[in-house]
Structure 1
Amino acid sequence: MTTPWQRTADGANLLGPDGSLGVTIFEEITTLANRHQAINLGQGFPDEDGPAELSRMAQEAIAGGQNQYAPGKGILELRQAVADHQERFYGLIPDPDTEIVITTGATEAIAAAILALTGPGDEVLTFEPFYDSYGAMIGLSGASHTTVPLLAPDFMPDLAALENSFSQRTKMVIVNNPHNPTGAVFPEAVLTEVVRLAVKYDAVILTDEVYEHLTFGPRHIPVATLPGAAERTLTISSAGKTFSFTGWKVGWISGPADLVAAARTVKQFLSYSSGTPFQTAIAAGLRMDESFFTGAAATLRRKRDILSEGLRAAGLDVLTSHGTYFINADTAALGITDATALARRLPELIGVAAIPVAVFCHPEGAQRTRSLLRFAFCKREEVLEQAAGRLATLKDKL
């Protein structure tokens, strides 16, 4: 009997049936970071909490008895807040009763949508590198995972390659924008071509926009706002990235009622209901003044710049991040082509941890990205300054 998950030759990763991302490298790097008391810039979560008023609201909800199941599709207050947010920022007007469902983070939203809408014989298309959850869920659905490479240094796709990657079997195209792990923010021309091809091949568009408010210059364009997209697009976002409450695991899907209903049908057998006392707090968060959202992006931009200076001082080629809270650096500038091997050395060598970008790729894509490291800059500024100082010693310690 063949297991659907196979270990790679070096034993570092587990690969899905389609060669999708392994999972153990993340645990390995974290273990090394802990062992050597390194600053862990491999993990993508903040080291400080979000707005205190939202924490107080969640505490009050717990104390007030909001501790039982919420409705399967989420409390109305939060569904209405999501609808209001989409209208306020993007001019979209989803129906909170039929076109929005609250999920246990974006991770469950991704799983529910892929499992509901794809299966054996289908193809699901993503950009590559790709967020690890996509490969895992596509593998579980039984669909085939096809990819389009994002090309350094700006991590944009070749549009001809994008068109050639679609086929009559393409059932879904997943667009992560802003993009993890590259930090790319796709312009209208790229997104419009995705929509054109999705219409041509009658594919559903699943758009993961969890970093929608975390861009540094380029404007975030929701796919659902583009002509011809709304009727075939499921949009995913979450509270974790925007409000720095990743542990609350509150996300949502919005889109056409029939597609949302399909995802909700699967969601009810994954978690049924999500974080009742947190939902009221996140509803309030989505209604915060626009200055909160622009301020969060400005703060992250400063943090990006602090870390970028440290990476350049280390002799690495920094590939500018325009969104998310990740930045990539090319180790080839130091004559190192195996970033995975370097990632395993960094915690002991200089006391900083990072993740190799190759683990976000299929084998062919891993070769294209084998000299790239991803660093997270969603940490306190003093921590990033300390990390930058340590990085500056890299050339001397190699």
Structure 2
Amino acid sequence: MTLTSKLPQVGTTIFTQMSSLAAQYEAINLSQGFPDFSADHALLERASHAILHGNNQYAPMIGLPILREAIQNLIARYYGRQVDVEKEITVTSGASEAIFDGITALVRPDDEVILFDPAYDLYEPAVMLAGGVCKRVVLTAPDFRPDWSQFAALVTNKTRLVLINTPHNPTGTCWQTEDLEQLWQVIKDKNINVLSDEVYEFIHYQTQSVSVHRHDQLAQRSMVVSSFGKSFHLTGWKVGYVVAPEIITRELRKLHQYITFSTATPFQQAIGEHLLDTPRASGELSPFYQNKRDILRSALAASRFQLLPCQGTYFQLLDYSEISDLDDVAFCHYLVKEIGVAAIPISVFYQNPPVEQRLIRLCFAKDETTLLAAAQKLAQL
């Protein structure tokens, strides 16, 4: 049998590879972005109660009413934006599904999609499957600031979608309010939509997070994607959501109903109840993760690694230029096999990675003992 792949350049993700190597070599896994500590026990009890008391059948396609109401309240409380609970909020099986739905709904063959490199590895395969073409704005270390003149030069009459991500994975940087305005000024007179990946929205170390929710004009052109997996340390529950104007939501739901139809009912019930009963829960994330960031940075301060700024997410970038001339993929293999720490190479997030760049990513969504043990190993280099 012969088979022509739709994604011939795509193999097993770097996250799966490094987690597998970490298990094989019994290394400390700071590669894949998942916590190694438990979620709020009260939230877990709510899910258990929902399972044991019959909330185990299909949820409504767009999401349980209690959860959509909680999302509506959350957006009003944090961003001052009023969204329609029936027409503008859709619960999805993780943020990844929301991103895939959004791209597939809006991108047609030969449409151009602009994204910012380094970029999360889901974006380009989804665009390719929709028949679109990716064009990239390259972000440069150490601050990874968008170059808006470069962005404007990439916009053509074929541009249909812009993918943005703040706080940014993998760099840990955050956009500023003026970045959203610069984006708007370029696209405002064109038929271009925006997909804003804001899954780390509550993990930022600035005075106020920057969100499309706070830009009235962009919000009317945009899909904003969020993740309860990130917000409540429950990545395995795969509960996300997307907020978009009704005209976009209608198209997105056409995809959603045939890809997953609905998301696990007891998890939706538990999160909805938890948000309504504990409305400030999400606001606790920033200081919680800032403490973990500072523990890791302090433990590595005397090492030969250069620590890049971390303004958001639970990822810390390290420059290892003073330690090795190996490329970052080879260096990560060396770390996991010889040092006992698994990390992620940054080059895999680029279409054309900078040749001289020597950066790796560590996840600090871990217990303090895990972070200190990993830092002790890395500091020996």
TM-score under structure 1 length normalisation = 0.91
**Of 306-315 and 384-393, the range deviating more from structure 2:** 306-315
Which stretch shows the higher mean deviation, 110-119 or 211-220? 211-220
Q: Distance in 2 between matches of 1:162 and 1:90?
A: 27
Paired position in structure 2 for 1:222: 211
Post-superposition CA distance 1:43-78 (Å, at most 9, x none): 100011221111111110101111010010011111
Q: 2:212 aligned with 1:210, yes or no?
A: no
Deviation, 1:296, is 2.1
Aligned-partner SS, 1:78: helix
Q: Give structure 2 stretches of 5+ with no counterpart.
A: none
Deviations 1:200-226 (A, max 9, x none): 332111111111110012521211321
CA distance in 2, matches of 1:310, 1:105: 33
Separation in structure 2 between the aligned mates of residue 369 and residue 242 of structure 1, nearest angstrom: 35
Shift of 1:334: 2.2
2:6 maps to a residue whose letter is P
Rounded to whole Å, the distance in 2 between the matches of 1:130 and 1:223 is: 18
Q: 20, 29, 40: which one pairs with 1:31?
A: 20
Say whether 1:383 aligns with 2:364: no
Give distance in 2, aligned partners of 1:355 and 1:254. Answer: 30
Q: Is the 8 A contact 2:116 2:137 kept in 1?
A: yes
Check whether the contact 2:75–2:82 (CA below 8 A) recurs between aligned residues: yes
Q: Which residue of 2 aligns with 1:112?
A: 101
- Can you list the C-alpha shifts for 1:306-341, whole angstroms capped at 9, x where unaligned? 222344433111111110111111121324251111
Give the superposition deviation at 1:135. Answer: 1.4
Q: 1:42 to 1:33 in 2, by over 3 A?
A: same
Query: Which 5+ residue runs of structure 1 have no aligned equivalent?
Result: 7-14, 17-21
Map of 1:72-87 to 2, 5 A cutoff? Answer: 72-87=61-76
SS of match in other structure, 2:220: helix
Deviations 1:229-256 (A, max 9, x none): 1221111101000100111111111120
SS at match of 1:138: helix
Q: Is contact 1:124-1:146 (8 Å) kept?
A: yes
Deviation at 1:131, TM superposition (A): 0.7
Range moving further from structure 2, 195-204 or 75-84: 195-204
Task: Tell me, in whole angstroms, the C-alpha distance in 2 between the residues paired with 1:368 and 1:284.
Answer: 49
The residue number in structure 2 matching 1:315 is 304
Cα distance, 1:287 vs. partner?
Answer: 3.4
Residue correspondence of structure 1 range 1-398 to structure 2 within 5 A: 3-6=5-8, 15-16=9-10, 23-287=12-276, 289=278, 292-336=281-325, 338-362=327-351, 364=352, 366-367=353-354, 370-394=357-381
DSSP-derived class of the 1:156 partner: coil
Secondary structure in 1 aligned to 2:316? Answer: strand
For the Cα contact (< 8 Å) 1:350–1:390, is it kept in 2? yes
SS at match of 1:124: strand
Instruction: Check conservation: 1:38, 1:347, Cα contact below 8 A.
Output: yes
Percent of counterpart pairs with the same letter?
A: 37
Letter in 2 for 1:169: K
